[in-house]
Amino acid sequence: MKHLIILGDGMADHPVERLGGKTLLQYAHTPYMDMLARQGQTGMLHTIPDGFAPGSEVANTAILGYDLNKVYEGRGPLEAASIGYDMQPLALALRCNILTLADGLIKNHHGGHLNTEESEPLIEALNEALASDVVKFAMGIQYRHLLIIKGGSKHIVCTPPHDHPNEPWQPLLVKPQEGWEDVREVGRMTARATATLLNELIIKSQEVLSAHPLNKQRVTEGKLQANSIWPWGGGYRPAMKTLSQLYPCVQSGSVISAVDLIRGIGCYAGLRNIVVAGATGLYDTNYEGKVAATIEALKNDDFVYLHIEASDEAGHDGDLELKLKTVEALDSRVVGPIYNKVKDWNEPICIAILPDHPTPVEIRTHVDEPVPFLIWYEGIVSDSVQVFDEQSCRNGGYGLLKPNQFMQTFMNIQ
């Protein structure tokens, strides 16, 4: 039995008055996901362990069966692995957004949907102006980059910018973690010194980026400036076992995603990283290319993790119509073609479909709530659920699972 997880990032939502009180999954036309729910078994899943914030790095790592209390080090080290950055023993790696500040507010977390080609000269300019023996910026994808602080302390409080759209940015600057302000780990600066350095870099980056020709050109074109860095999600190098070590049935596996974070989780999990041309993490992503890569990977690998980011980005932007389109595109351009291709294979395929967390369009940030999931394979005994959504799956045969129970349940299907 081969195993495929199709992850619709942020796909779950709340009831929306404009949709007659329905969630987006209830309102959207999703015949393939509904069919698989009807023919398979469903349930609800807690993806966020107690004590953790509802971030994608937490949820996706938990979905894969890892104990976050043992392996969690933040988003930065995962994204470092994705881009091939070799973290040294004393490095602190942080996700570094390039975003838009205006009128004292965080206008968006993505610099006006900055693309990778636009980001490259900005990262070069930041390194020229601000890099040192202690500070280095590393290029990632689109607006998502990496900031390395040699000897930095992870005991700091950083704010994910996508959680605070249209809020004042200055109160959200980095702070030392209570109780760690002046503690000095061997070879590292204190948390207070680390927070001070990061805040200085944020302020200085605004001067560098606002003066850059790319941003001046964006102003003349009526576009938002990508005018500040925002570091968060910092940590040290994590110690994670591979999926093959955790689940002996996984002799080989792969991950397909446009997002550095997910690729980084895959690296530490021992999965082969498949890069698809035209995969953007947005609604304009190359769905067909991702499907083709998934089908090809399933021919050789025991396990494939297909991650689709688009719904999460639309949710953060508060764009109801676009998020509906992303949900329907996942169904018609991903789930349907994959199902139609593998349903008659000689070697059976077990498919799971789920979000990692809700990203409600009317809140525009992640929330810590259970998400619906379905599991389908040829011959599974179905439950009574007829459609795939947040309400219906509450009556599913799997019930409500804790974070570590999903992967155990899924991989035990042989």
The band of 327, judged by pLDDT with boundaries at 50, 70 and 90, is: very high
Q: CA 141, CA 113: separation in Å to the nearest integer?
A: 11
2-72+239-412 CATH pick, 3.30.70.330, 3.20.20.70, 2.10.77.10, 3.40.720.10: 3.40.720.10
The model's pLDDT over 344-375, given as tens digits with 9 standing for 90+, comes to: 899 999 999 999 999 999 999 999 999 999 99
The pLDDT of residue 224: 93
Angle value at C-alpha 143, between 74 and 199, nearest 5 degrees: 60
Q: CA 347, CA 349: separation in Å to the nearest integer?
A: 7
The pLDDT of residue 83: 84
What whole-number percentage of the chain has pLDDT above 90? 93
The band of 260, judged by pLDDT with boundaries at 50, 70 and 90, is: confident
The band of 141, judged by pLDDT with boundaries at 50, 70 and 90, is: confident
Helix, strand or coil, per DSSP, at residue 24: helix
The pLDDT of residue 74: 86
Is the pLDDT assigned to residue 106 strictly greater than 90? yes
Name the residue type at position 63: I
The model's pLDDT over 117-133, given as tens digits with 9 standing for 90+, comes to: 999 999 999 999 999 99
Q: In angstroms, how far is the first alpha carbon of the chain from the final one?
A: 5
Q: CA 264, CA 77: separation in Å to the nearest integer?
A: 8
Is the pLDDT assigned to residue 148 strictly greater than 90? yes
Q: Per the structure block, which two tokens stand in for 144?
A: 């998502």
- The domain locations on the chain are 2-72+239-412, 79-235
- Element spanning 289, H or E: helix 287-300
Name the residue type at position 338: I
The model's pLDDT over 161-176, given as tens digits with 9 standing for 90+, comes to: 998 999 999 999 999 9
Is the pLDDT assigned to residue 86 strictly greater than 90? no
The model's pLDDT over 42-61, given as tens digits with 9 standing for 90+, comes to: 999 999 999 999 999 999 99
Contacts of 327 (CB under 8 A, 6+ apart): 8, 11, 24, 25, 28, 30, 311
Among residues 42, 37, 15, which one has the least CA distance to residue 26? 15
The torsion of the CA quartet 287, 308, 148, 102, rounded to 10 degrees, works out to 90
CA distances from 261 to 59, 145, 285 (A): 11, 10, 17
Contact 222, 96 (CB under 8 A): no
Q: Per the structure block, which two tokens stand in for 287?
A: 């769905």
Q: CA 334, CA 332: separation in Å to the nearest integer?
A: 6
The pLDDT of residue 200: 98
Among residues 218, 176, 181, 174, which one has the least CA distance to residue 198? 174
Q: CA 32, CA 25: separation in Å to the nearest integer?
A: 12
Q: CA 352, CA 369: separation in Å to the nearest integer?
A: 19
The pLDDT of residue 239: 87
The pLDDT of residue 75: 85
The reply to whether the predicted model has a pTM over 0.75 is yes
The band of 310, judged by pLDDT with boundaries at 50, 70 and 90, is: very high
The model's pLDDT over 9-29, given as tens digits with 9 standing for 90+, comes to: 999 999 999 999 999 999 999
Is the pLDDT assigned to residue 404 strictly greater than 90? no
The model's pLDDT over 369-398, given as tens digits with 9 standing for 90+, comes to: 999 999 999 999 999 999 999 999 999 999
